[in-house]
Structure 1
Amino acid sequence: MTVSRPHSQFPWLKGKFRAVADPWNQIGVQTKFYGRTLRSIVIAVTRYRIELIRQIAQMGLGAGALIVIGGTVAIVGFLTVTTGALVAVQGYTDFAEIGVEALTGFASAFFNVRLIAPATTAVALAATIGAGATAQLGAMRINEEIDALEVMGIRSIAYLASTRVVAGLLVVIPLYCVGVLASFWAARFGTTVIYGQSTGVYDHYFRTFLNPTDLVWSFAQCIMLAVVIMLVHTYYGFSARGGPAGVGEAVGRAVRTSLILSAFVLVMISLAVYGQSGNFNLAG
């Protein structure tokens, strides 16, 4: 016996509506997951302290071959050294064209703090800690380990997602300190040693334009970026499907999404704090 299906009118309209509605539904699902993860932070801190400490150690020092080179801290330091050296090269050559190469110290104090150090730390966090979290959670999802935790009565979001968000939030503090100091050192080394500028001139302009308030806001930017990155990566790890290939696809999507959101958050916070003018006046 066959059951007749009702005729679907306007199938082309239904397809177009689904194409428009599906992305918004996906955003709603992600927002719901982010809210549950943030609400479960208290449970993660109070009930799953051992897992939280383990995640902090793993994110800070790394695992496997990553420990040999010093863990995530070494990667962040290396990246910020290169960006700090770029400030020295680009800043000195550009300022030298108009005869004010002495302002290279100003460029280091201004751009490293407000933009380069937070952005570089976010990239390193997404490419190392975030990608690792997505791969771990994705592997657990396809192996049905997350389902097993829920069957045992363990709150999977608090145990797996919230602990990683808190750990990333704590680990980013030393990462940011290493990143800022490395960028300062690289810019000073490149300007004074390679280009031969006087250390007194460089230090004078660097200390003149280094605003402690900017350091505080830069640190706040890194905190917000760490939360956003870990939320995105834990979501894509939880929603991974399709076996090992699906896990790899989830990692790629997570890194892409977290970098886009990090850039957006960084720009929005910078505009909110410094305004369109940058709250900066250069006078002789």
Structure 2
Amino acid sequence: MLKSKLRYFLFHLIVGGFGILLLYPVIWLLISSFKVSEDIFVTVGSLIPSPFTFDNYTQGWEGFGGNSFGVFIKNTLIFVIFMLIGHLISCSLIAFGFARLKFFGRGFWFAIMIASLMLPYEVVMIPQYVIFSKLGWLNSLAPLVVPAYFGHPFFIFLLVQFIRTIPRELDEAAIIDGCSTFGVYRRIILPLITPALATTAIFTFYWTWDNLLGPVLYLNSPNKYTVSMALNMFLSNDSVSNWGAMFAMSIVTLIPVFGIFFLFQRYVVEGISTSGIKG
């Protein structure tokens, strides 16, 4: 009994130590947001702000270009919502087709889709920019949002694997009862793949919330900037960077990220683990 308790204590002590080590950058970021900007990198080893100030949060929330930081959060939320809707609808439909429908070249097109996962974004960045420029979509969310309504290879693969774990007998029973193919998708498949859809939504939120390259390419007006672009604007090559304000707003933007993770982490684990049961 004593040996078991000692092993239990040592295990949690080691895991807790690694946890603190991994969280140290976030802790340092949080504490530095209450320091005067000039002292942040002077007192790197000290975790106690002296003096303690809230001015960084006030200055950071004021934003720039006549737009408060709330405007950038609102823009990002709109961006996230459209991306969520696009990925959930398109990826679930395409995954249902690959997992349940039989059509000519299904294996070939599925292999092409999987191969596209290995294609770096930098390869398609310039052709996409040229296309969207000719369509007149620059300085709008359209170039960032519209591709989401044509599916995402990673999420399609995730959902295909999940749908394959659902017995086909459920589909056949629904068809016997008079369900159409779309009815099977809507009434049978969608309710049963909720964990995988939740995983898709959570990852979409994370990847969209901190997306910098896409908005930098297509958005030019400050009133349309996202939070990642706004944070980058606090840095300057010509004058003194406002590190305090940037750290303060970084903490503000981390709040929804941590909140989503702690609320829905069960769905992330369940969606990913179940999707890998069956190939």
TM-score > 0.5, shorter chain as reference: no
TM-score, scaled to structure 1: 0.37
TM-score, scaled to structure 2: 0.37
